[in-house]
A and B are shown apart, each in its own frame.
Chain A
Amino acid sequence: MGLRRYVIRRIIYSFILLLLVISFNFVLFQMLPFYVSCPGRTYNQCAGFLYYPPLPTKNPDQLKEVQAERAEILKIYGFNNTIPMRWLLYLKAMLTFNFGYNAGQALGGTVMGTILQRLPYTVVLLGTSTIASFIIGIALGVVAASKRGRVLDVSSLAILLFVNALPVFFLGAMLELIQRQSLGTFYVPIGTAILLKSGVGYVVGYLQAFFLPFLTLTLAGIGGIFLTERAVMIDTVAEDYILMARAKGLSERSVLYKHAFRNAVLPITTAFALSIGFILSGAIITETVFGWPGLGQAIFTAIGNYDFPLEQAIFYLITLMVLICVFASDILYGVLDPRVVTA
């Protein structure tokens, strides 16, 4: 099977998977309380998440007005259609990136506006910390594997296992406390920096607010990458061609970093692609702990507010992004390691 057929097959398969996942999202958010609770309940309980003013019962004119307004709102969110029709409209909305309006009280405006507003924060935080943890994790893993059983290997294994066993929010709070106790300075929430809009104060404030969530996410991310890379490297060093390279009389440096490392870093590419794909889902816990206004926080707030249009859109974008990244990594893998395509 040639690379081209492989690519086409992957594209078709990814598209079917995308359709399946977004249909699943549709069903999932149909299950949300708004839909479930509406028939048997009073108006206030039912539309509470879409429309807040209580229904006036005494004045018939006002009642009529509010009911008309309610019908209008239901129409905006597409509730006047049958479920199959709604599904089709939903598919169209997703595929054309026309996500409509937010529901709920905390996030106003269009869904796309909310996402675009939150996106830069998440990309900056998750992007840098993902790359940092992959670089540090891979480097540590390779070095630890080459010095197996020595102090560096054992100590980094112990420390990273311990850090990995800590709940992320606990790790974040501990770092915050350590910063306060040792430096005497307090964690600066991002809000203070945002208010400044521009200037040196903004940059300094942004970096101050950025530092702790970045450190937390990086520390939390290193462990898994380190363990995988270490295991792969140990396996690779045991291969015959490494023995061969050593027998040829190559320097240990050349054996490790030219021959072993190149093969040992391959399996990590898939994990890296997945991590990059999931950047859009943000880091719910870390963003909540530090009040970082990224997409993770938006997802969490939106769930609490039953803001299903936003949820559906973010879930869709995440799936899309992950599929693209996995696809890219598969192609890259196929190019780097031809055995995959021919198999």
Chain B
Amino acid sequence: MSRLESRRTSLWRGVKKNAKLYMKSKIGVIGIVVIAFFLFMAVFAPYLTANAPVTGYDVGAPYSIPAWATIFPGYANVPVTYSPIASSLSGPSSFSGWTTAGQDVKTSFYNGSLLVNSSIVPDQKIMSDYLAGHPDNPYLPGGQVFFSISEEFQYNQKAPSSFVLSAAFEPLKMSNVSDIYINYMITAPNGNYSFGSLKNSVIGSVIDLTNTSLRQQATINVSSVDLLGGGIPSFEGVRNPTALLFADKGTYTFTVQIQAVPVANATSISMLVSGVNVHVVGGAYGLLGTDNYGRDVWSQLTWGSRVSLEIGIISGVGAVLLGTLAGLVAGYVGGTWDEILGRITDFFLVIPFLPLLIVLLLVLGQNPALYKQIYTWVIVIFVVLSWPFIGRLIRSQVLSVKERPYVEASRAVGGGTGHILRRHILPNVMGLVFSQIALNVSGFILLEAALDYLAVSVHPISTMTWGLMLSNALPDAVSNSAQSYVWWWFLPPGICIAAVSLAFVLVGFALDSIFNPRLRAR
């Protein structure tokens, strides 16, 4: 066995032995599990949530409670924000619940969308139909309905505060057709409401539906706001049309209707339809509700874990590595180096840490070029301000190890400095190093949250952090207003910060008790 190989084996054996010892420590295992959970959250944040944490406004109503909270009696009547229909129409499976109607309609799937071909032979009544208006809604213009697709959905809660209907359309081919209307209709259990006619000229700036050469896709949204003063008879003079529309529980039908005015014989339309969505906005939303701007709290929490862990772990490891290096040199070489480390520590000890940190970040924040890498600078400042204290700790450990008999013996048989440092000093310091990393990571996570709370700019404007969430939520949480006690918003980030920092402390404790036999339970 070569020398290198034997060293490797002994190292591996050491790791295995210590891992076994570690697994015996209950609190250590709990810490590792918690950290693993949040690491998973941070890495897979994009897959855990679809909403943007900062810019995703109004995914639910502002101050929505979590959807699951509706099981509690106090929140029992709060309608949940959700999409009863959310279908891409990209294939037969997503079109299975739908029904088609119209004259001579053929459906197929093309390019991830539903392709509808429809043709009609217009009769002489076209013009009179047009003047008479829409068959279902006299306030809409008339014309021939080429086809419609519809699906039923169950709605079993109190009326929502608002709703949005949307779908995307892309005309492929049209012949002998002038104006096109797209109508959305919702058939309530008690009657028929139709609305949302969009003539091609209305959306002309986005898409010219009759110009087949353009082939642009247009998403058409109709929201509850459009019902106010929209000239729809059933809602005339109604102050809250959404409440009227969703007054009953039961089976509703959502219909998308394509209506056109034929100008000659042998007319046909060929159109792609995709992304059909019915979205009702209630007072409850998702896993953790929403904040004051209707942004998804769960998405903020998952994305926020990245910042906390990134800054905490990198600066914790960096500060401890630098401190270990300084401590080894100061402790082992001693003399001038020891003196220098001591003086630097004294220097940093008498300066107030948090104010200095804030001033330094302020200086950096003024420079746009530096501000772009603000994360890096936060980490650098954390490391620079804290390594001397870690160095001091490592130094005292090195000093005590240095005087042990086996080190003296090793030196007596001709062991060089490198050999002694590597084989005798370092293994005895590693325990302290690991536990210091864990404890410092915990401290830095809390520090970063505190900076966020004080609204000191430690992050680009486009990111969300746990500290920032708390900072946003606390005024609402402790205020004396009707919106107070927003527990779903301010508890999760606080608990997450506490859990992560506690987990790192526990890991530090467990490591400490492995490498520091005096602390082992006797």
Assess whether B453 is in contact with A285, with CB atoms less than 8 Å apart: yes
Q: Is A303's CB under 8 angstroms from B446's CB?
A: no
B residues 347-361 near A (Cβ < 8 Å) are: 347, 349-352, 354-356, 358-360
Verify B470–A36 contact, CB threshold 8 A. no
Chain B residues with Cβ below 8 Å from A162 are 498, 502
* Contact yes or no, B355 A284, CB < 8 A: yes
CB atoms of B354 and A284 under 8 A apart: yes
Complex interface bits, B339-371 against A, C-beta within 8 A gives 1, otherwise 0: 000010011011110111011101100110000
Assess whether A167 is in contact with B494, with CB atoms less than 8 Å apart: yes
Which single member of A167, A231, A235, A322 contacts B349 (CB below 8 Å)? A322
Instruction: List residues of A (158-185) whose CB comes within 8 Å of B's CBs.
Output: 161-162, 164-170, 173-174, 176-177, 180
Q: Of residues B350, B352, B477, B506, which shows the largest number of chain A Cβ atoms within 10 Å of its Cβ?
A: B350
Residue of B with least CB distance to A280:
B352
A186 at the interface (CB under 8 A from B): yes
The verdict on A21 contacting chain B, using a C-beta distance below 8 Å, is yes
B470–A167 CB distance below 8 A? yes
Query: Which residue of chain A lies nearest to B470 when distances are taken between CB atoms in the complex?
Result: A170
A31, A235, A318: the one within 8 Å of B352 (CB) = A318
CB pair B450–A167 under 8 Å, yes or no, is: yes
A33-B366, A169-B450, A303-B355 known; A177+B478 contact, CB < 8 A: yes
A101 to B502, CA, bound (A): 45
Whether B501 is near chain A, meaning CB under 8 Å from some CB there, is: yes
Q: Are B518 and A238 in contact (CB under 8 A)?
A: yes
Sorting the interface of chain A by its residue count into under 10, 10 to 19, 20 to 34 or 35 or more gives 35 or more
Quick check: B347 and A169 within 8 Å, CB to CB? Answer: no
CA A21 – CA B349 in complex, angstroms? 10
Shortest distance from the beta carbon of B142 to any chain A beta carbon, whole Å: 61
Q: What are the residues of chain A within 8 A of B501 when measuring CB–CB? A: 165
Determine whether the beta carbon of B442 is less than 8 Å from that of A165: yes
Contact A300 B350 (CB under 8 A): no
Task: Indicate which residue in A161, A231, A281 contacts B505 across the interface (CB closer than 8 Å).
Answer: A161
Q: Is the beta-carbon distance between A315 and B477 smaller than 8 angstroms? A: no
- Minimum CB distance partner of A18 in chain B: B350
Contact in complex: B362, A177 (CB < 8 Å): no
Contact B502 A165 (CB under 8 A): yes
Contact of A167 among B347, B367, B467 (CB under 8 A): B467
From A21, A177, A311, give the contact of B485 (CB < 8 A).
A177
Partner pick for B494 among A166, A187, A281, CB 8 A cutoff:
A166
Residues of A within 8 Å of B519, CB to CB, are 231, 234
A3 within 8 A of B: no
**Most A CB within 10 A of own CB, among B349, B485, B506, B518:** B349
Q: Is the CB of B454 within 8 A of A300?
A: yes
Instruction: Say whether A106 faces chain B, with CB atoms less than 8 Å apart.
Output: no
Task: Point out the residues of chain B lying under 8 angstroms from A234, CB to CB.
Answer: 519
- CB contacts (< 8 Å) of B349 on chain A: these are 274, 322, 326
Q: When the two chains form their complex, are residues A167 and B355 in contact, meaning their CB atoms are under 8 A apart? A: no
> A-B contact count, CB below 8 Å?
124
Q: Please report whether the interface of chain A is mostly helix, strand, loop or mixed according to DSSP.
A: helix
Interface string of B437-467 (1 = CB under 8 A from A): 0000010001001100110000000000001
Contact of B359 among A21, A28, A187, A278 (CB under 8 A): A28
CB-CB < 8 A to B343: which residues of A? 17
What residues on A are CB-neighbors of B412 within 8 Å?
none
Q: Does A319 contact B (CB under 8 A)?
A: yes
Contact between A173 and B347, CB atoms less than 8 A apart: no
Q: Is A149 an interface residue (CB 8 A)?
A: yes
**Given A168-B450, A303-B358: A21 touches B352 (CB 8 Å cut-off):** no
| Contacting pair B442 A32 (CB below 8 A) | no
Q: Is B474 an interface residue (CB 8 A)?
A: yes
Flag if A169 contacts B474 (CB, 8 Å). Answer: yes
Given known A37-B366, A162-B502, A169-B470, contact A281–B355 (CB-CB < 8 A): yes
A33 to B474, CA, bound (A): 30
Please give, as numbers and ranges, the residues of chain A lying within 8 Å of B367 by CB-CB distance: 36
User: With A176-B478, A285-B453 given, is the CB distance from A165 to B363 under 8 Å?
Assistant: no
Among B351, B478, B521, the residue within 8 A (CB) of A173 is B478
- Please tell me if the beta carbons of B351 and A24 are within 8 angstroms of each other in the complex: yes
Is B454's CB under 8 angstroms from A288's CB?
Answer: yes
CB distance from B130 to the nearest CB of A (A): 63
- A225 interface residue per 8 A CB criterion: no
Partner of A323, one of B350, B362, B467, B499: B350
Given A162-B498, A300-B358, A303-B358: A32 and B363 interface contact (C-beta under 8 Å): yes
B323 to chain A, nearest CB (A): 19
In whole Å, how far is A163's beta carbon from the nearest beta carbon of chain B? 9
Q: Once the chains are docked, how many angstroms separate the CA of A235 from the CA of B367?
A: 50
List 14 extra interface pairs beyond A177-B485, A322-B349, CB under 8 A. Answer: A32-B359, A165-B442, A165-B499, A166-B497, A167-B494, A168-B450, A173-B478, A173-B490, A285-B354, A285-B450, A315-B352, A315-B355, A319-B351, A322-B350
Contact residues of B with A, CB < 8 Å? 343, 346-347, 349-352, 354-356, 358-360, 362-363, 366-367, 442, 446, 449-450, 453-454, 467, 470-471, 474, 477-478, 480, 485, 490, 494, 497-499, 501-502, 505-506, 518-519, 521
A-B pairs with beta carbons under 8 Å apart, 28 shown = A17-B346, A21-B350, A29-B359, A32-B362, A161-B502, A161-B505, A165-B446, A165-B501, A166-B498, A167-B494, A167-B498, A170-B470, A170-B497, A170-B498, A173-B474, A186-B480, A274-B349, A277-B350, A281-B354, A281-B355, A288-B454, A299-B352, A311-B355, A311-B359, A315-B356, A318-B350, A319-B351, A323-B350
What is A's interface to B at a CB cutoff of 8 Å?
A: 17, 20-21, 24, 28-29, 31-33, 36-37, 149, 161-162, 164-170, 173-174, 176-177, 180, 186-187, 231, 234-235, 238, 274, 277-278, 281, 284-285, 288-289, 299-300, 303, 311, 314-315, 318-319, 322-323, 326
The 8 closest A-B pairs by CB, nearest first: A165-B502, A281-B352, A170-B494, A33-B366, A165-B501, A322-B350, A165-B498, A167-B449
